Amino acid sequence: MTTTAPASRPLTRQVSSRVSQSVFDGSRLRVVLLVDVNDGAQHQFLEAYEQLCTQVASVPGHVSDQLCQSIENPSQWLITSEWESAPPFLTWVNSEEHVRMVEPLHSCVRDTRSLRFHVVRETGGPADGAEPGRRSLQARPRIGDGVTRHALTFTVKPGSEDAVAGILADYAPPNPRVDDTTRLCRTSLFMHGNRVVRAIEVRGDLLAALRHVARQPEVRAVEEAINPYLEQDRDLDDPESARVFFTRAALPAVHHVAAERDDPAAERHALYYPARPGCGMRLARLLAQQDEAAADDPLNPVLGSTIFQRDDVVVRLIDVRGGLTAGDPALSLGLPDPAQAAELTTFPEGAADGRGSAPRDGGLTRFLDLARMDLITDRLSPRA
């Protein structure tokens, strides 16, 4: 039995026990989808899968997939797929194309659960004729903190921002305890213009926590209150309408790093980077590289960072010592080069001149001011 050697050097370099996780390490991705099919809908599900399989085969970065049916319960199915790396999978799964592609599946399934894993080790060695990029493995285990981070984002009708902020700030927090193994740790809510971002930290099962929160009457009341202001209509009493809305609102974490040093007085801030079309993943990767370096620098005020990205929406949640504007704006912004910020983002007119170049004086300070999101609420759940 042989074990393949790592074929690429990861972006994340584990030189200490600090927390670090990333989709940008270049290793292969294994996606596992657990599916609970409605009774009697097995043939319908298989037909929908075969149509989906044909379409997915042409998606860049897709390597293979496999469909399995439980030998104990015919309603339980398992879909596994392999991807060259995480970024192409995330680009596809977060696209409108994916929303349309999987629609036929939802009429015949009760529940789904998606799990994503980087491949760390495998037996058997590289397959004959395999492309080198498809055989890269994660070089070493990463160190986690037991917390899953996720965010939702949506836009409200222009002119309704103050009303929405008031509704979102004024609600009773739900019970943080989900069950014996899952609890809500922190909820941070920010706005940037008419865009809302809600970031949550969960210890345990993220899906169970999201369902727990959705069932709480105080949360349901807030969701109903902001419904008239949403740019994308939704009906929370219609499961399909709610599913499509929250699918499009999902803003996954693509990178997280936290320095070993800690500061209870650190402030939490959020920055919104509207990426130029097609530049979202590239921008998120660049921010991740800067935050990895920050975690190793004892003088850097950024102690922790989580980067969320979907299409051309990039949000960076940071815990910073001394305030967002206390030191070098490049450290808080995560982009040391003003020209790079102008190249990759679509900040409003005034951040760059008409030729697209960055302003000569105070460029990064101006970008930082434009990226800064307004804090609506940041709530730490009490420890059990």
* Predicted local distance difference test score (pLDDT) of residue 131: 52
Give 383's pLDDT tier (boundaries 50, 70, 90): low
Chain segment 175-233, per-residue pLDDT in tens: 899 999 999 999 999 999 999 999 999 999 988 898 888 888 888 899 999 999 999 98
**Of the given ranges (48-52, 100-104, 380-384), which has the lowest mean pLDDT?**
380-384
For residue 192, give the nearest of 221, 220, 158, 167 by alpha carbon.
158
Chain segment 343-363, per-residue pLDDT in tens: 999 986 544 443 344 444 357
Mean of the per-residue pLDDT values for the chain? 86
In order of 23, 26, 125, 169, 372, the CA distances from 378 in angstroms are: 26, 33, 48, 9, 15
Q: Residue 327 CA to chain centroid, in angstroms? A: 28
Domain-by-domain residue ranges, the chain?
23-122, 147-252, 253-374
Question: Percent of the chain, pLDDT > 90?
Answer: 54
Q: Hey, do 23-122 and 147-252 end up sharing a CATH topology, with the first three levels equal?
A: yes
In order of 25, 138, 143, 309, the CA distances from 8 in angstroms are: 8, 8, 19, 24
Chain segment 125-155, per-residue pLDDT in tens: 554 444 544 458 888 888 888 899 999 999 9
Does the pLDDT at position 15 exceed 50?
A: no
Residue with tokens 């109903």: 224
Q: What type of residue sits at position 260? A: E
User: Do residues 146 and 185 lie in contact, with contact meaning Cβ atoms separated by under 8 Å?
Assistant: no
- Architecture per CATH, 23-122: 2-Layer Sandwich (3.30)
Does the pLDDT at position 384 exceed 80?
A: no
Helix axis angle, 217-226 relative to 161-169, nearest 10°?
A: 180
Fold of 253-374: Alpha-Beta Plaits (3.30.70)
Calpha distance 125→180 (Å, rounded)? 41
Domain covering 147-252 assigned CATH 3.30.70.1090 in the classification: yes
